[in-house]
Amino acid sequence: MMSAGELESILLRRHWVFDLDGTLTLPVHDFSVIRHALGVPKGTDILGYLASLSQEEAQPLHDRLHEIESGLLERIEPAPGLIRLMESLQRRGYRLGILTRNTREIALRTLDCLGIGAYFSEACILGRSDAPPKPDPEGLFRLSLQWETEPHELVMIGDYIFDLQTGRNAGAATIHVDRSGTYSWPELTDIGVETLDELHSILPD
Ligand SMILES: [Mg+2]
């Protein structure tokens, strides 16, 4: 159990990196359906599977994945408390980034749909071609270089195990946004919140 002081020291860090889908948005990706559509074996990491194929085999699947992910844009809805949290972090002068296994192009369009594009500088939005996919910590290393800070000064916020592993692998703090409130990966989680609203509510004054 984290002490109030430890909790506060994490929340006062000034460099926050967010996962996109299911963290800033309500979850719409059904990965088992996507696996099925692409012929990816059950329980297998989709990007890892595509990376294991030859270029010729992988390309049509990448195209299909892009199509599926573009289609999902129409169903994008902001996670509760999103705008309030973004405003609050901006007011504090925090630097904000995105690290997503989606493409950068879809990430930019998603942020636009959500109306929060202005909170992120474009160089701080990393898609799956900009850095090795999570849980590889490289994306966080790149952001920390850009921000001229150290990875252990970062906070990684996400809804899935890959996000938390990425944070741990980089030596960053982790915040798990888990609507179910079950927090399945306590060993990877520094702070657990059910919603962005709750995260906003625990920010120190
Ligand atoms: Mg996610």
Stretch 127-140: mean pLDDT: 96
For residue 128, how far is its CA from the centre of ligand 1 (angstroms)? 13
For residue 100, how far is its CA from the centre of ligand 1 (angstroms)? 8
Under the banding of pLDDT at 50, 70 and 90, the label for residue 31 is confident
For residue 99, how far is its CA from the centre of ligand 1 (angstroms)? 10
The 3 state secondary structure assigned to the chain is: CCCHHHHHHHHCCCEEEECCCCCCECCCCCHHHHHHHHCCCCCCCHHHHHHHCCHHHHHHHHHHHHHHHHHHHHHCCECCCHHHHHHHHHHCCCEEEEECCCCHHHHHHHHHHHCCHHHCCHHHEECCCCCCCCCCCHHHHHHHHHCCCCHHHEEEEECCHHHHHHHHHHCCEEEEECCCCCCCCHHHCCEEECCHHHHHHHCCC
For residue 26, how far is its CA from the centre of ligand 1 (angstroms)? 9
**CATH 1.10.260 domain extents, the chain:** 31-75
Stretch 44-69: mean pLDDT: 92
Chain-centre distance for alpha carbon 126? 10
pTM more than 0.85:
yes
Under the banding of pLDDT at 50, 70 and 90, the label for residue 121 is very high
> What gap in Å lies between CA 188 and CA 28, rounded to an integer?
24
Under the banding of pLDDT at 50, 70 and 90, the label for residue 72 is confident
What pLDDT is attached to residue 142?
98
For residue 104, how far is its CA from the centre of ligand 1 (angstroms)? 14
What pLDDT is attached to residue 156?
98
For residue 163, how far is its CA from the centre of ligand 1 (angstroms)? 7
For residue 55, how far is its CA from the centre of ligand 1 (angstroms)? 26
φ/ψ of residue 78, rounded to 5: -65, 145
For residue 70, how far is its CA from the centre of ligand 1 (angstroms)? 16
Stretch 159-172: mean pLDDT: 98
Range 4-26+77-202 has CATH code 3.40.50.1000: yes
How is domain 31-75 classified at the CATH fold level? Answer: 434 Repressor (Amino-terminal Domain) (1.10.260)
**CATH 3.40.50.1000 domain extents, the chain:** 4-26+77-202
> What's the mean per-residue pLDDT of the chain?
94
For residue 60, how far is its CA from the centre of ligand 1 (angstroms)? 24
Under the banding of pLDDT at 50, 70 and 90, the label for residue 114 is very high
**Percent with pLDDT over 90 in the chain:** 87
For residue 158, how far is its CA from the centre of ligand 1 (angstroms)? 6
pLDDT(13) > 80:
yes
pLDDT(1) > 70:
no
